Amino acid sequence: MRNSMMDQATERLQQALGAIQKRGASSARLSFGQGESIGCEFENGRLKTADSRQSVSVNVEVVVGGKAGQTSCNNLADLDEMTDRAFALARAGSAVHFQAYPPPAPLAEVKTFSERTAGLSRETMIESCQKIVDALKAHDPELFIEAGAGRGESENVLVTSGGVCHQSADTGCGLHAWVQRTQGTDMLFSGFGRSWKDLNEFYDPDVIVEHILEELRHGERIAPAPTGRTVALLSPDMLAGLLWPVQMGINGRNVAKGDSPLAGRLGQQILDPCFTIIDDPHLDYCNGAAQISRDGIPTRRMTLSDRGVLTSFL
């Protein structure tokens, strides 16, 4: 991060937390984050944009009289004003269902920041996208081709009334492409992309090209649609879509609101026994990797479905 504000932000949040507690809040949570990103986009096979972005976020939550008030802004200098507004909003805020934010606890070692990713240049990303475009045009000059790449880094600090003061740093990069082939009234769409926190073998233009070319080759012959009962072959890419209803059902918020059909079904068979689903935030450089939640709770590996039996909610 070129202009890190972590030390300044941490000191400022701790000062604000002390003032909030003196004003009578039973609990409070404050966070600060800043990020930088660069990227490029190709449209119809030509470079369209090459941009850079910076962002800052400041969030305040106070609990007063059993009700929560939340505010946010993008300027650390406005923290006092945001605190006043949070107290005002708490008078008409939603009721909270916890007594206090938890105290600090041991955290797992999880790698989320990569110097290699932070050093990925815009020029390299443009070259990667151009390579994808050239390879796809060599296959079919009439394709409408889009491609893009990006990388970003961020720093965050969380301070709570439970005593948590946690700083973290993250990186991320991604590469993707999408094509449209039009022949008469027939249109075929294909796209593929990958992202990761570390710049490793997942960032590979050749893999993206080959994936799209394979789908284009499969679509060269238009086959008649089958009738009646038939066997459907689904690629591994389809799994996330098929499990989306399950993900919504095990979402703790949906369960608490009574919107989930899986509420009250812990210990019951909800999936085929071939399904064991594990939520693991401790995989190094995984897109969802994290040491701590936004409420200061250490993350942990959780089995959600054990051979099809519902074992936990998120």
Is residue 34 over pLDDT 70?
yes
Structure tokens at 304: 């959600």
Q: Give the pLDDT confidence score for residue 60 in this predicted structure.
A: 98
Confidence of residue 232 (pLDDT cuts 50, 70, 90): confident
pTM of the model: 0.88
Contact 41, 53 (CB under 8 A): no
- HEC profile for 99-150? CCCCCCCCCCCCCCCCHHHHCCCHHHHHHHHHHHHHHHHHHCCCCEEEEEEE
Average pLDDT of the segment spanning 20-38: 96
Would you place residue 233 in the very low, low, confident or very high pLDDT band (cuts 50, 70, 90)?
Answer: confident
Q: How far is CA 268 from CA 205, 240, 249, 252, 274, in A?
A: 44, 22, 14, 17, 15
What is the per-residue pLDDT for 1? 66
Crossing angle of helices 122-139 and 205-218, in 10° steps, is 20
**What are 291-310's pLDDT values in tens digits?**
999 999 999 999 999 999 99
- Give the phi and the psi of residue 166 in degrees, each rounded to 5: -125, 125
Among 215, 202, 275, 286, CA closest to 245: 275
The yes-or-no verdict on residue 2 having pLDDT over 80 is no
Report the pLDDT averaged over residues 120-137: 97
Q: Where are the alpha helices (DSSP H) in 219-298?
A: 239-250, 252-257
